[in-house]
Amino acid sequence: MNRRAEKNLFLFPFLLVCALFATSQAQPPSSPIKPRPIYEQCPALTAAKTTDDAVTRAIASLKGKDAKAREQAAQQLSQSCDSRAVDPLIELLNDEDPLIRIAAVEILGKLGASEAVSFLTDLINDKDWRVRMALISTMASFKIFRARNVVLNGIANPDGAEITDENDMRVRCAAILTVNQLKDVQYSRKAILFLHSFLESKHENIRWLAEQTMYELKNTRNGPTEMYAILKQHYYFEIRRWMAYWIAKLNLEKAREVLQHAAANDSDQRVQQAASEALKQLPAPK
């Protein structure tokens, strides 16, 4: 092998790594976490007057072993808008089978039975993360503060705890994204701020999931607007500096405008500098 070939062979791994790094920088990774769906709840619940008690039979099928029958029963109950289904479903929230608890959670969310909210709240510490994930959609679908506050402060909020379990983190991140989809924006900003602590976790997998959630915030209803507001209004300079970095990294629609404002007007020179550096990372204007 001649010297030129040896040199090229030596350089190839290095060049390959550089190419992969450049690609990863140019294309944000797809997020494995998405907001949970918000249900269109029954406008009202009424007790159907019929001698054929379809609700009772559907509840019985929900507890059976036939997966297809359970699915059909869940769909039937979700669409029934029948108040007679509420109490039996509340009882199923304590079932030993997590799949039955999940079905009960989802159906109660679709029915929109507000009397079930306090019972659903008891599940925020359910031992099965899938139940907590289902709870996000249900509680966010209720247009009342105490239900949606559960999503923010009962599910998303780490409350000072060190998060180590990856599935638990996925639930928290889904909750953060979901409240940023709501028309009611009072929950959005605090949810985004939880990601600041997650991004500083000493656990690599937790940091990675937090980063993917930051990328997905760009696609939510409230995420970009709340990120601009955090940069302009948050009292702590370190949070404003952090937000300047992410506004540029995500290349948000109004990134240049808000970063220029921060670079010129922020009360802290460290934030001004961070905003100036962030501006340099934005693509050149067309």
pLDDT at 286: 74
DSSP alpha helix (H) spans, the chain: 3-26, 54-62, 67-80, 86-92, 98-111, 117-121, 129-141, 145-149, 166-179, 188-199, 204-217, 223-233, 237-249, 255-265, 269-281
pLDDT of residue 141: 97
Residue 5 exposed, middle or buried by CB count within 10 Å (0-12, 13-18, 19+): exposed
Q: Looking at residues 189-212, what average pLDDT do you find? A: 97
pTM of the model: 0.85
| Average pLDDT rounded to a whole number, residues 78-103 | 90
Regarding predicted confidence, which is higher, 46 or 8?
46
Q: List the single range of 72-76, 116-120, 183-187, 191-195 with lowest mean pLDDT.
A: 72-76
Alpha helix (H) residue ranges in 166-254: 166-179, 188-199, 204-217, 223-233, 237-249
Least confident segment among 40-49, 174-183, 211-220, 266-275: 40-49
pLDDT in tens, 5-22: 444 444 433 333 333 333
What pLDDT, on the 0 to 100 scale, is given for residue 52? 60
In the block, residue with structure tokens 């769909």:
75
Q: What is the mean pLDDT of residues 37-42?
A: 95
Q: Is the pLDDT of residue 48 over 90?
A: no
Contacts within 8 Å (CB) and 24+ apart, 9-16: none
Closest CA to 137 of 40, 252, 42: 40
Distance CA 150, CA 193 (A): 17
Q: Is-contact 117 142, C-beta < 8 A?
A: yes
Which range, of 6-15, 62-71, 178-187, 252-261, averages the lowest pLDDT? Answer: 6-15
Look over the chain and give the mean of its residue pLDDT values, rounded to a whole number.
88
Average pLDDT over every residue of 218-239: 97
* Euclidean distance between CA atoms 273 and 49, whole angstroms: 69
Give the pLDDT score at 180. 98
